[in-house]
């Protein structure tokens, strides 16, 4: 392919933006929101992310689009069915972020159970001078349910085993590669577990998969950890359960309407809130960037993607 025209849907970190600008014939959508109506036919490749996506409406305005390269593993914001119907391949950045996201899941689990973030504030605000921080909950030896036993789910299990956690998982089907217990009934898994970690994809099939009934099954001693997508959890039901004390705690890296987070969660010591930083380390983000560019260059040179969806 001769020098293609690349559409950058949204802003990325400066290093990524500069490399795109330097190496490709680039159109930045956020600088010209109405440009697709005028120049959509020029676009050969879209570069996007789970945050920005690529909608069916946008696809319809790019009749000559040949590929979509996305930063991250989430693809629920991309019109996958419409792209496949037109033979437009999509790449994501799997594998390279597994370790950091799994680390984040375990960090959230431990922080929420032991309330380290709240205990830190107890010290910083001078409250230790007035008394000890309340007792929290042990992590080691407890029961962990993992929802979504793909690449990241398996990495979480590997780390959890080091804490002597009993592990079961829920998936669309049993995974023959593992000896961990499979639970087809999500509510049964929640009822069994002390900790329920979400590592499943987003999208219509998992929308509000964790609803009021699942939260009730997890119970007043249970802790929910979400490093998947905000849409997987019914956020209103989650807030209600935490306020009522029918759920023990939550460690959240993702939310339904990011970056807006329910303010009701802000003052809860049994809730840890992160700004979607599961893969946000220098090493992992550089690996993700490199994989996006590797996909771009390979498609331009050979018409193939390295990590097709």
Give dist(CA 42, CA 129) in Å, integer.
Answer: 66
Beta strands in 106-230 (DSSP E): 143-147, 166-170, 181-182, 195-198, 223-226
Strand order in the sheet with 143-147: 181-182, 166-170, 143-147, 195-198, 223-226, 249-252, 271-273
Give backbone dihedrals phi and psi of 9, rounded to 5 degrees, phi first: -75, -40
Task: Say how many Å lie between the first and final Cα of the chain, rounded.
Answer: 21
Give dist(CA 55, CA 95) in Å, integer.
Answer: 25
229 among known catalytic residues: yes
Token duo for residue 254: 């993702």
Give dist(CA 96, CA 293) in Å, integer.
Answer: 14
Please tell me whether residue 5 adopts helix, strand or coil conformation: strand
Identified catalytic residue from 122, 168, 170, 276: 276
Give dist(CA 156, CA 159) in Å, integer.
Answer: 5
122 among known catalytic residues: no
Identified catalytic residue from 18, 38, 258, 283: 258
Token duo for residue 132: 């000890």
22 among known catalytic residues: no
Identified catalytic residue from 229, 235, 285, 289: 229
Give backbone dihedrals phi and psi of 49, rounded to 5 degrees, phi first: -150, 175
Q: Which helix (H) or strand (E) holds 101?
A: helix 98-114
Residues labelled as active-site residues? 229, 258, 276
């Amino acid at each position: 392919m001769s020098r293609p025209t690349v559409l950058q849907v949204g802003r990325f970190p400066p290093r990524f933006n500069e490399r795109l600008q330097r190496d490709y014939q680039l159109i930045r959508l956020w600088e010209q929101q109405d440009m697709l109506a005028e120049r959509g036919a020029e676009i050969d490749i879209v570069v996007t992310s789970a945050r920005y996506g690529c909608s069916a409406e946008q696809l319809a305005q790019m009749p000559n689009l040949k590929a979509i390269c996305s930063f991250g593993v989430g693809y629920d914001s991309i019109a996958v069915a419409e792209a496949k119907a037109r033979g437009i391949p999509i790449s994501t950045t799997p594998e390279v972020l597994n370790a950091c996201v799994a680390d984040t899941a375990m960090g959230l689990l431990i922080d929420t159970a032991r309330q380290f973030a709240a205990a830190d504030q107890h010290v910083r605000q001078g409250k230790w001078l007035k008394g000890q921080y309340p007792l929290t909950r042990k992590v080691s030896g407890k029961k962990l349910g993992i929802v979504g036993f793909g690449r990241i789910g398996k990495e979480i299990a590997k780390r959890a085993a080091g804490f002597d956690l009993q592990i079961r998982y829920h998936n669309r089907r049993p995974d023959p590669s593992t000896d961990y217990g499979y639970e087809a009934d999500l509510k049964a898994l929640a009822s069994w577990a002390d900790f329920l970690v979400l590592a499943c994809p987003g999208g219509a099939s998992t929308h509000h998969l964790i609803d009021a009934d699942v939260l009730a099954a997890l119970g007043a001693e249970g802790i929910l950890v979400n490093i998947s997508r905000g849409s997987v959890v019914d956020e209103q039901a989650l807030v209600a359960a935490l306020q009522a004390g029918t759920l023990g705690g939550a460690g959240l890296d993702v939310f339904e309407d990011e970056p807006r987070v329910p303010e009701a969660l802000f003052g809860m010591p049994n809730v840890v809130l992160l700004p979607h930083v599961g893969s946000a380390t220098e090493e992992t983000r550089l690996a993700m960037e490199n994989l996006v560019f590797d996909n771009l260059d390979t498609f331009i040179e050979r018409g193939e993607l390295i990590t097709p969806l």
